[in-house]
A and B are shown apart, each in its own frame.
Chain A
């Protein structure tokens, strides 16, 4: 895997040098250091470092990447930029977090830079990521380095051996998981797991629960949303829809690793790469990750589904579940409502408005370099980078992934799953309002974890979340949040 990554890096470097992807003028940023803050580990950060070395050779700008625990990225950036410490020039974080930073006037407007940039080709960025991920209030404030959807993956060989079809709904998921749980999936003689989901608190669990809830709660298109009543900002959480999602989510634990409550995404990735998971909920990474040398047990066997649906959907006026039919779920197919969840929205880079102008110029040039097709179309084919496709040219054909070593059938399935999610008119947006982090990664995450651990009942968890969300809404101002929600959902 390292060898393949090196080769691809070398190829991209060579392309840059011969002019396929020309950088800024050589030496233009001599003496300029751009400090970037992002998550720890090779995922996301590693590629920034490697591309930073190339960028320094070409332009003279030194790229310094600082890694902090996931949960500390946003508060560190917010406090650094707000208090004028300005030790960070660029933050690479969830695209959805930009709105709160921009509301405080902390993000540099990138449109003037883009107007002078003839290499970035933003028309090639998929509309959802271009309009939802990169823009805040109609202006481009971030540049994507990654596009994210949460999907379901299944081991085709394991399901075939068990005579099971890929699941279409979450009930199917649990049914299939129960049938394959305990079978040996990697030939080591030990029973493996029907389902693997990262359920550790303070990690990624709160995204997965939204993936479960979206098709039950959101029925009338992306603009409807599934967290709040857009007109009043009253939470739509303490109802039969979310309750069902919580219960289904907990039930998957019966067929998961015994220590699933303490597993984060790194742990579940190690498990599925070792061939120990029959089904899993993940972002786009497992597609190319299965090509890694340490994933020999699953190479070419892990297929993707853009999102699971629900036969029962929430009737918001009665608060009860009703069968999904065209009148209440116009986007449903064969009585199943789908709402693929754009969890996280993808990793994107934003520039500190108060940074020195020379640094801002260098920072933009680097983010543009990362975003440009010549670089990103290589990076998204390497699973370890954590970068998933977000450009139309990367999603229009499977060739890019076939060239990277993916079997044709698998590449078609992978691209098809992402395109299926992107083109779904009922795609569920991640929260993109001020306080999004508090609503989800604090309140939702904590109460979900307490429910999974058996500390509280599902009803208590939902009541606590409702109360916590209301407190946050009141803190930020209800009218302001209503306006932000309308802007975020385009409603």
Chain B
């Protein structure tokens, strides 16, 4: 006689056997239902060991003063002192920059930022769920904090710290790289002669190690012996040294970083542009639309989801910039080209493991909030529109 099959397999539980089902069948059914978990368990375990555990363990470092002794590392719990040092202690100017005196312009712009952010939060209050509201509150708090530091340092004529140097690399660097990378991708997606050659050529810098890029750029950017020395001489700039001025040094970092990362934007955007259906473009051409209008109204809307995703990935990567400023300027002049990652490395190199871990955590918080905000308010909305 055929055994009755349960209607809902969820009803089958070990130890809970409907009449007529053997324990072997029940066991097989249970294994089938949990097979997915079993298969991914090794990978999850490895991730826990190699990713999550170090992240949690580094918090132990961040909350401790770590001393090297003959018996290994010795931890002394110091609470949030390593974090507080970055905001109120000896590292305050290094991390945040100089935040006083605050100019009138800085105060006005900060007031505008606060009002704008609070207005956005107030409008969200009416529609968002409490989970979304929590997320938006975190984003708003970060925006107000970053706004204050910006207004009190840069917009008040004061120097910026590693926090805003990092944001400069991320915001300005990614914008430049995105604009040039997308432009090159658009050109290479056109039916021009030798476009395969250019595709390979534009892609090459991405294959060079960051260390190699750093040393190559250091030689190229040398104003006394580098290839641009005669040009600078012709322009009467023989005494100009980019590495002696904070902002010119930061711009050179962005230029060198862009040289390496434009190919990444280029290759992703090229793939996106080539996936735009030809018939849409041809239909627009038949209708007499100009090339600009075709790009703006037909091509661009279709590549926007890819574009914002690429920008997000690039931004996450840009937060970690370290090799170039380390090799080209050692973080100088002063600490003007020092990113938060490099700041953490330098502190770690001095065996101040606690402060190094604290800076790394601050970078993690900054990256997560900025990138999650960008993902939620820009990437998702563009994907939904598409």
Chain A's interface size range is 35 or more
The verdict on A159 contacting chain B, using a C-beta distance below 8 Å, is no
CB atoms of A456 and B98 under 8 A apart: yes
The verdict on A471 contacting chain B, using a C-beta distance below 8 Å, is yes
Residue of A nearest to B94 (CB): A446
Known: A438-B350, A455-B159. A83 touches B334 (CB 8 A): no
CB atoms of A79 and B332 under 8 A apart: no
How far apart are the CA atoms of A471 and B84 in the complex, in Å?
12
How far apart are the CA atoms of A446 and B161 in the complex, in Å?
12
Contacting residues of chain B (38-79) with chain A, CB-CB under 8 angstroms = 65, 67-70, 72-73
From A438, A453, A464, contact of B333 by CB (8 A): A453
Give every chain B residue within 8 A of A259 (Cβ-Cβ): 223-224, 241, 243-244
Contacting residues of chain B (209-255) with chain A, CB-CB under 8 angstroms = 223-224, 239-241, 243-244, 246
The verdict on A72 contacting chain B, using a C-beta distance below 8 Å, is yes
How far apart are the CA atoms of A75 and B352 in the complex, in Å?
10
Residue of A nearest to B242 (CB): A259
Per-residue CB proximity of A445-472 to B under 8 Å, as 1/0? 0100111111110001000100110110
CB atoms of B90 and A464 under 8 A apart: yes
Residue of B nearest to A434 (CB): B67
How far apart are the CA atoms of A74 and B351 in the complex, in Å?
9
Known: A259-B223, A464-B93. A442 touches B330 (CB 8 A): no
CB atoms of A75 and B332 under 8 A apart: no
Give every chain A residue within 8 A of B336 (Cβ-Cβ): 453, 455
Residue of A nearest to B69 (CB): A104
Give every chain B residue within 8 A of A104 (Cβ-Cβ): 67-70
Residue of A nearest to B65 (CB): A475
Give every chain A residue within 8 A of B244 (Cβ-Cβ): 258-262, 453
The verdict on B18 contacting chain A, using a C-beta distance below 8 Å, is no
Interface segment among A117-125, A197-205, A292-300, A394-402: the answer is: A197-205
The verdict on B30 contacting chain A, using a C-beta distance below 8 Å, is no
CB atoms of A437 and B69 under 8 A apart: no
Give every chain B residue within 8 A of A238 (Cβ-Cβ): none
From A82, A202, A454, contact of B72 by CB (8 A): A82
CB atoms of B330 and A203 under 8 A apart: yes
**Number of chain B residues close to chain A: CB under 8 A:** 38
Give every chain A residue within 8 A of B331 (Cβ-Cβ): 201-202
Per-residue CB proximity of B90-101 to A under 8 Å, as 1/0? 110110001000
Known: A79-B68, A261-B244, A262-B241. A455 touches B98 (CB 8 A): yes
How far apart are the CA atoms of A372 and B327 in the complex, in Å?
38
How far apart are the CA atoms of A449 and B94 in the complex, in Å?
11
Give every chain A residue within 8 A of B351 (Cβ-Cβ): 74-75, 78-79, 437-438
The verdict on B259 contacting chain A, using a C-beta distance below 8 Å, is no
Known: A75-B351, A258-B241, A468-B90. A455 touches B224 (CB 8 A): no
The verdict on A187 contacting chain B, using a C-beta distance below 8 Å, is no
CB atoms of A456 and B241 under 8 A apart: no
Give every chain A residue within 8 A of B334 (Cβ-Cβ): 201, 449-456
The verdict on A84 contacting chain B, using a C-beta distance below 8 Å, is yes
CB atoms of A71 and B349 under 8 A apart: yes
Give every chain A residue within 8 A of B243 (Cβ-Cβ): 259, 261-262
Q: How far is the CB of B205 from chain A (nearest CB, A)?
A: 24
The verdict on B346 contacting chain A, using a C-beta distance below 8 Å, is yes
From B68, B93, B348, contact of A78 by CB (8 A): B68
How far apart are the CA atoms of A220 and B336 in the complex, in Å?
39
The verdict on B89 contacting chain A, using a C-beta distance below 8 Å, is yes
The verdict on A164 contacting chain B, using a C-beta distance below 8 Å, is no
Give every chain A residue within 8 A of B241 (Cβ-Cβ): 258-259, 262
Besides A200-B332, A449-B335, A456-B93, 18 new A-B residue pairs in contact (Cβ under 8 A), listed by A number: A75-B349, A83-B68, A104-B69, A106-B70, A201-B333, A201-B334, A202-B330, A259-B243, A259-B244, A437-B350, A437-B351, A449-B334, A450-B93, A453-B333, A455-B159, A464-B94, A468-B91, A471-B90
Which 5 A-B residue pairs are closest in the complex by CB-CB distance? Answer: A453-B334, A105-B70, A453-B333, A82-B68, A450-B334
Q: Give 12 CB contacts A-B under 8 Å.
A: A75-B351, A104-B67, A201-B332, A202-B331, A258-B240, A437-B350, A437-B351, A443-B90, A450-B159, A453-B332, A453-B335, A475-B65
